């Protein structure tokens, strides 16, 4: 499916299950997401992490509504706690099948978002590894001078900001040298297609989810 449609589908489903309470729909979505992830050959270790990490949040919600209420409502507690897994697993389905570059290009080409937004997102994502390396280099250089810069040290972040400003200037110059002009139409080296098959699959999944929401509790 087209990356933009996958993003919109997950967003709409998350919004709908937040408005309409249906435990059965939540369980069906969780099972469908798990089956899809296994079909995409995700590692069992990653599946276990996707189940274990949200457990704290889901258990906290369940305990608050079931054990610490004057009138416990186990149905509502299960609904809200299961929503956590729906959010996490559906987002994991998108993240597993779509890279950040594909999503940014699709948002620009298919949803007609401004190119500066797409390029800004890509620049921010691509600069993260460079910033990590720069912070590590700054801490190593400080230790060679007998200084230890902790994680919360203001000097560490001040030096990192200077590196980020320098990187931003280099990035802007690089984009201009490659012919980028804000507000001008640009051709796409890699096109992200939006086919009728994508729309049919999008509408079908959304239809089945809505049928389940209004038919099951």
42, 117, 126, 141, 213 from 108: Cα distances, Å: 28, 8, 18, 41, 32
Residue pLDDT, tens place only, 161-173: 777 777 777 776 6
Q: What is the sign, positive or negative, of the torsion defined by CA atoms of 142, 146, 152, 155?
A: negative
Mean predicted confidence (pLDDT) in 99-113:
81
pLDDT of residue 53: 87
- Does residue 204 register a pLDDT over 90? yes
Q: Taking the model in full, what pTM does it have? A: 0.75
Residue pLDDT, tens place only, 14-46: 898 888 888 889 899 999 999 998 888 888 888
pLDDT of residue 174: 67
Using only C-alpha atoms, the chain has a radius of gyration, in whole angstroms, of 23
């Amino acid at each position: 499916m087209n990356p933009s449609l996958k993003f919109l589908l997950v967003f709409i489903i998350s919004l709908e299950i937040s408005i309409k309470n249906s435990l059965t729909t939540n369980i069906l979505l969780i099972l469908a997401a798990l089956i899809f992830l296994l079909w995409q050959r995700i590692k069992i270790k990653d599946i276990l992490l996707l189940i274990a990490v949200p457990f704290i949040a889901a258990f906290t919600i369940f305990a608050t509504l079931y054990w610490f209420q004057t009138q416990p409502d186990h149905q509502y507690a299960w609904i809200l706690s299961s929503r956590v897994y729906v959010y996490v697993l559906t987002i994991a389905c998108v993240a597993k099948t779509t890279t950040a570059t594909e999503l940014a290009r699709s948002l620009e080409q298919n949803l007609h978002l401004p190119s500066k937004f797409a390029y800004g997102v890509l620049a921010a994502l691509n600069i993260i590894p460079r910033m990590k390396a720069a912070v590590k280099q700054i801490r190593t250089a400080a230790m060679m001078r007998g200084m230890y810069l902790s994680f919360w040290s203001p000097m560490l972040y001040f030096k990192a900001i200077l590196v980020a400003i320098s990187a931003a200037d280099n990035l802007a110059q690089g984009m201009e040298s490659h012919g980028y002009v804000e507000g001008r139409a640009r051709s796409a080296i890699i096109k992200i297609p939006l086919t009728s098959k994508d729309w049919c699959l999008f509408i079908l999944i959304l239809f089945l989810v809505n049928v389940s929401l209004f038919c099951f509790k």
